[in-house]
Amino acid sequence: MKYKAKSFIDLFNSLHDEISCREFLEYQRWHGEPICPHCHRQSKEHYRLKRQGLYKCKSCHKTFSVTVGTMFEGSHVPLMKWFYAIYIFLSHKKGISSTQLAKDIGVTQKTAWFILERIRHELHGKFIATFNNLTQVDETYVGGKNKGRVKHAQGRSLKKKVPVVGLLSDGKVQTFVTPNTSGKVLKAIIYNLVKEGTTIISDGWKGYVGLSAKYDHKVVDHGTGEYVRDGFHTNSIEGFWSHLKRGIMGIYHKVSKKHLFRYCDEFAFRYNTRNLSDVERFSLFIMSTYKRIRYHDLIKLEY
C-alpha cells in the first residue's frame, strides 16, 4: 500500500479511521513485512491474529502490534488524533499550544500537553548536524524580562534567563540548553562537535577567546555595532534565535527551564527540515517513532 499524498487534505482523506491509520503506520515502519519488537526478527510467516492489528511471532511466540516499542504504545488516544496532532505540530512554523490542540482533536488540555511532549521527546537527537564546514556559533537567553540589563550584555545579566547555545553549518542547526555560557561550557560543546581546523564565526563574547588555537576563528564584534566582517557573520543563527523566541512568546508564552530543551529541539527540527514538504516531514517523523516517555517520568524530569 503506497501513500502519495501531496497535501493535508490528500493525506487525511486516506487516514480516515483507525484501520487506515494503523495500515499507514505499518507501511512506514515495516513496508509490508512485520518485525517482531521482542526478538527483532523479520519474517513473512508471522501469524496475523483475528483481533485487528495483532500479530504473533513464529519464533518467540509473543504477540505484538505496530505500536509496540513506539511513542504510541499504551496510549488510549486514537491514532487518527495522534496523526492530526503530529501533522499540525510539525507543519505550523511556530507550533501549536496544548489548549488549541485540545479543542482541535477533542481531548483534555492535560492529554494534549502530554501528546505534544511525547512528540518533542521523539525529536530529541533525531537530526544530528555535522560541523566540518563554515560554522556559526552563538548563544541566546530565553525567559525573564528585559529590565536592568547591562549594556552589551545581550541578556546575560538576567539571572532568570536560561542560556541556550547553538551551532549552525550548511543550513542545519543544533541547540544545547546550558547552565551558563562560560568558556569551559562553550568550548566543551565546540571541541566535541566541530572538526578541528574548521572556520568558526562568533560574536565577541569572552567565552570564545582561545578558539583560534584549534580553529580559524572569525569574530564579529556586535558590541561595537559590527554585524559583518570580511563577509563573515552570524546572521543565520541569530535568525533562528529570533524564530525560536517569537514562537515561544507568541504560542507557548512561557516555558519552564526543565522542558526548554524540548522546545529547542522542536524548532531545530522544523528548521532543519524546512526544505521538505509538510507531508514529507510528517512521513519522516512517523518512520522513526521509537521513543516513548511515560507521564510520571515526564513530570519528574529535572534539569
pLDDT tens for the chain, 303 residues: list them: 456 677 888 888 888 899 999 999 988 888 878 888 888 777 666 777 867 788 888 888 888 888 988 899 888 999 999 999 999 999 999 999 999 999 999 999 999 999 999 999 999 877 777 888 899 999 999 986 655 544 555 555 556 789 999 999 999 999 999 999 999 999 999 999 999 999 999 999 999 999 999 999 999 988 777 778 888 899 999 999 999 999 999 899 888 888 899 999 999 999 999 999 999 999 889 988 877 777 767 766 554
pLDDT score at 46: 75
pLDDT score at 292: 74
Q: How far apart are CA 133 and CA 182, in angstroms?
A: 24
**What is the residue-wise DSSP string for 72-116?**
TTT--S-HHHHHHHHHHHHHSTT---HHHHHHHHT--HHHHHHHH
Q: What is the pLDDT of residues 168-224, one digit of tens each?
A: 999 999 999 999 999 999 999 999 999 999 999 999 999 999 999 999 999 998 877
C-alpha distances out from residue 9 to 74, 83, 92, 251, 263, Å: 28, 13, 15, 24, 27
pLDDT score at 294: 72
pLDDT score at 276: 93
pLDDT score at 146: 56
pLDDT score at 186: 97
With 0-12 CB in 10 A as exposed, 13-18 as middle and 19+ as buried, what is 54? middle
Domain ranges, ordered by start, for the chain = 135-272
Cβ proximity of 136 and 167 under 8 Å? yes
pLDDT score at 43: 62
138 phi/psi in degrees, rounded to 5 = -155, 160
- Within 13 Å and on the Cβ side, how many CA atoms surround 13? 8
pTM to 2 decimal places: 0.86
CATH number for the domain whose boundaries are 135-272: 3.30.420.10
86 phi/psi in degrees, rounded to 5 = -65, -45
Residue of 133, 248, 147, 240 lying closest to 194 (CA atoms): 133
3-state SS, residue 60:
coil
Q: Where are the alpha helices (DSSP H) in the chain?
A: 8-14, 18-30, 79-91, 98-105, 109-123, 183-193, 235-247, 260-272, 278-286, 295-299
Q: What is the pLDDT of residues 29-41, one digit of tens each?
A: 888 788 888 887 7
pLDDT score at 303: 43
Q: In what order do the strands lie in the sheet with 135-142?
A: 172-177, 162-169, 135-142, 199-202, 216-219
